[in-house]
Chain A
Amino acid sequence: MSFLIDLLASLPFEWARYGFMRNALVAVALVSPLFGVMGTLVVNNRMAFFSDAIGHASLTGLGLGILLGLADPLLALVAFAMLLGIGILALHRFTRSAMDTIISLCMSFSVALGVVLLSRGGNFNRYSHYLIGDLLSITPREIGWLCLTAFLVGGGLLLCYNRILLVGLNESLARSRGVNTWWTQMFFVSSIVMVVTMNLSWVGLLIINSLLILPAAAARNIAGNTRQYVLFAMTTALASGICGLLISYYADTASGATIVLVAMGFYFLTLAAKALRQ
């Protein structure tokens, strides 16, 4: 990993002289393809609102982590988001209420609780970087962690891709093909939670969901089968990540949000391509 970062230093660009930019670039190149693959499944299985809720729920996890006096609130963040994710799934299954109602309920609850916890003593501003994200402060050690989660979650997703795809199409059909829908959904929900929470601090919770959804939405416009869908989504995510980061450097803007805007640009491009073809 450090070899890669050092290699970037030899590039003849102004930004390549800064360690923080090299770290950020490696992190983006590592994680954005994973966002692309995961996004294809999130969009297929209509879980976009779910992943959004997980991002927002992290506020409570953060609050709890600070309340418990943890040195790194990330642990509390992951734990709470996981609990909420599984909770939403279980509530949906056992009360047979509509998924969006349950998600909305859980999201309002956790956002309110999070704001209450974090605003105690009037210090909410201290945590505002979680809302916007700070890609440039990422350290090589954090990149190591990202690398590990990307590898585990990415590998797991690929292994379970077929089953998640079937469950998203129709649960009864999936079950008749011998798929254990409960465990498949549990695995999928846990992967979403891992990807969202691990990347929250650099993307920011306000826009992390866009980064998940936009590349897949763009890929959908032009893909003719699942293989192209995943390939286009990964490419779009990677291209938006790298372009967005570099633009944010020259324009001096928040990198997470810039990346999302570039991804949005790609979405409109593919939309135009689709319209032209018809």
Chain B
Amino acid sequence: MQTSSDHHTGIAPHQCGRCCTNIDKISVTLDRHPVIEDISLHLHCGELTTVVGPNGAGKSTLLRALLGEVPHTGSIHFLPVFGPGREDAPSIGYVPQSLDFDRFSPCSVCDLFAASASRFPVPLGCRGGVRQTALSALEAVEAGGLLDRKLGKLSGGELQRVLLALSLTPVPNLLLLDEPVSGIDLPGRELFYRTVSGLRRRFDLSILMVSHDLAGIASVSDRIVFLDRRVVCVGSPGEVLANRDFRHAFGLDLEDLS
């Protein structure tokens, strides 16, 4: 994709590692109940951080706060070495949990890209430039053949890859994935993880992913954050999976006994 080079000009991917998204003391209170409190995280380029936690732990709320959809205290800063992001507002790509949309809509994948990327009205047709950009973005996630398919006819895994490609056009500073593999079959999950894993290196992206899929995330994540309203523990997959609170929350300590 042509945007990969202008994100970190002159630096080979994998060597940056310095620019950082700073999430500083984010708290969200809804109806006077604290949903998340004092979340502080540093996300480095080229790193995939996975947020896990029980239901109601505030994982999706954290993402929505980062997107600016719910009022929150605290701040999010992007410290760029190079690149287009302003310090106060990193550009954010977002892949929703499940696209709740009308399955019978005749909107095609190309229409979705055209509607997001330009103001030229989609009913007047997809223009060549948009088509080409969309195609190369899709090819980056092994979905080149889906360009002219209708959104409603895609499988769960295909749709997730299309949304991933969309969130990378243009390449953002920070990529948020909200339970991207829920509702995808096992081969689809593996393909999705493999793609995401490749992308983080190729585009030197900070990725923050919320997931329930404990089996899958251990191999793909650089870091895991165990969240239960506040950050309970952060560390490498090995560290977090060995954590007592974590094992207790997910019922893994019982398996040890049996």
Contacts and interface: CB of A to CB of B under 8 A. Distances in A.
A225 B110 contact: yes
Interface size class of A (residues with CB under 8 A): 20 to 34
B114 to A, nearest CB: 7
Contact of B150 (A162, A175, A176, A225): A225
**Which of B114, B118, B151, B163 counts the most chain A CB atoms within 10 A?**
B114
Given A162-B118, A168-B101, A176-B67, A226 B107 contact: yes
Interface in A202-239: 219-220, 223-231
B99 A169 contact: yes
Interface string B95-112: 010011110111110111
Contact of B106 (A158, A166, A168, A220): A220
A120 interface: no
B5 to A, nearest CB: 23
Contact of A175 (B67, B93, B100, B122): B67
Contacts of B99: 169-170, 173
B119 interface: yes
A118 interface: no
Interface in B185-211: none
A193 interface: no
A161 interface: yes
A223 to B, nearest CB: 4
Interface residues of B, number: 37
A226 B106 contact: yes
A227 B125 CA distance: 6
A169 B114 CA distance: 14
B11 to A, nearest CB: 26
Interface in A36-59: 37, 40, 43-44, 46
B29 interface: no
A177 B116 contact: yes
B69 interface: yes
A229 B105 CA distance: 9
The 6 tightest CB contacts between A and B, nearest first, are A176-B94, A230-B123, A162-B115, A225-B108, A223-B106, A226-B111
6 contacts: A158-B123, A161-B121, A165-B115, A170-B96, A172-B64, A227-B111
